[in-house]
Amino acid sequence: MVILTLNCGSSSVKYQVYDWAAKNVMATGIVERVTLGGSVITHKPTGKAEYVEDHECPTHTVAIDLILRTLTNPEYGVIEDMGMIKVVGHRMVHGGMKFARSSLIDKEFLDTFRSLIDLAPLHNPPNLMGVEAAQAVLPNVPQCAIMDTAWHQTMPEASFLYAIPYDWYRTHNVRRYGFHGTSFLYNAKRASVLLGKDPFETNLIIAHVGNGSSINAVKNGRSFDTSMGMTPLEGLVMGTRSGDIDPGIIFHMMRSAGFSAADVEKKLNKESGVLGITEKWADRRDIANAVNQGSHIAQVAQEIEGYRIKKYIGAYCAALGRVDAIVFTAGVGEMDPDIRRLACSGLEGLGIVIDPEKNKLAKCRNAELEITGKGSRIRILVIPTDEELVMTEDSYALMTGSYDVHTNYRYYFQDPSYVNKVRETGLALDLAKKPWLKDLIVKAP
């Protein structure tokens, strides 16, 4: 069975094609600048050269049609025809309290999802556009929704309720929902494998650090608390999002600067975070380079981001009582030693010791690494996330009738012998250039 997964943003469509029988990624790619002009597709077929094409995509339907034509191209495509695609899985950001699990998409689902747009006005509309576009191009192919918020449905009331008028929750659904659920699910299951523990006897703190960042306390294999809230704006310092701030700042800026609600929403979502601090950089690689060149404000931004993660690690250590491992994942978590160092330094009293040399060397997206220092009671892992694999398996399970919530379902990547074939090939190339990585790789016991 060939499974296509789509992650639709307001101006982009990321995709992956997976051969379930062979358990192998056939291709990945992205169409950028959808609806904006100057659209371009970057297509990465496994075993073939990367293909890039400029192609205007005024709508998501045109973008998805471009993806399918690229996938079936005789030269750089990976499937013979569109009939090979048996199911499409969609990342859906905000399921509110309506969706606690992945689901087949039908009219009732879409009607319910539309009612949740106000909960995530920046994310749910493009998700919905992606579904409608895929249905237009592949009208006879089943479509599945994989909810970013579903993983966090196990949080207790003490974690998800805010100390605000209770009627806001009862009438307006104001509560903590949490996001990055597919990433946290994957990392929680893989960490338990690497630790040699039953997943439902494992306590973890998982830091998904990228342009969007959040941190998750996992208690006995279930989400217990998380930093993002009703929207993906709360919590950690991010590329362009503020994370936690005093709500009074909003009222102050509305009064003193004349900002509207829309102005504040834009400022906090798109002009804050490390970009807001530095007034120049959102990419952490640019910030790291600026730090090395002596930029004071870049160093401050880096320290603020690391310190916020450290505070959450400390809080979640207290909330969980016992922690088996801290996991860093996503683009920054996997590739930025400075952020990991700042997040873990000074936590020896909590039993957290990072190895400075291993941490510096741990930059690889094709292997699961360990950077635990000597004497640490809590292990520190770096696990490349794989949200697309969770989306793929959920879609397959929904199609075959074997799907269930993660507490009743065992993913195939939970097998200690699991191997990501594409990453295995990539790791061989990495080791040829960075032979020291072999000493950091952690294997299931």
> Which residue in the list 65, 148, 336, 394 is annotated as catalytic?
148
DSSP for 154-187, please give it: G--HHHH--SS-HHHHHHH--S-----HHHHHHH
Residues 102, 108, 111: CA angle, nearest 5 degrees: 100
Q: Is 336 a catalytic residue?
A: no
For residue 378, which phi and psi values (nearest 5 degrees)? -115, 125
pLDDT digits (tens, 9 = 90+) for 76-114: 999 999 899 999 999 998 888 888 899 999 999 999 888
Is-contact 223 152, C-beta < 8 A? yes
Q: What pLDDT does residue 9 have?
A: 77
Q: What percent of the chain has pLDDT over 90?
A: 84
Q: Which helix (H) or strand (E) holds 300?
A: helix 296-320
Is-contact 290 298, C-beta < 8 A? yes
Core vs surface per residue 279-315: b (16+ CB within 10 A) or e: eebbebeebbebbeeebebbbebbeebbebbbebbbe
Answer yes or no: same fold for 2-147 and 197-383: yes
Residue at 181: amino acid letter: G
The CATH number of the structural domain formed by 197-383 is: 3.30.420.40
Q: Which two tokens stand for residue 252?
A: 């102050």
Q: Which of 96, 204, 212, 110 is closest to 153 using CA atoms?
A: 96
Q: Tell me: domain 2-147, CATH 3.40.50.720, correct?
A: no
DSSP label at 439?
G
Residues of the chain with pLDDT under 50: none
Distance CA 252, CA 393 (A): 47
pLDDT digits (tens, 9 = 90+) for 38-78: 999 999 999 899 999 999 999 888 999 999 999 999 999 99
Q: What pLDDT does residue 96 have?
A: 82
Q: Which two tokens stand for residue 181?
A: 């659920």
Q: Which two tokens stand for residue 343?
A: 């997040």
Helix (H, G, I), strand (E, B) or coil at 2: strand
- Where do the structural domains in the chain lie, given as residue ranges? 2-147, 197-383
Q: Which two tokens stand for residue 165?
A: 């008028």
- Strands 379-382 and 325-329 turn out to be parallel
Q: What pLDDT does residue 11 have?
A: 78
pTM metric for this prediction = 0.94
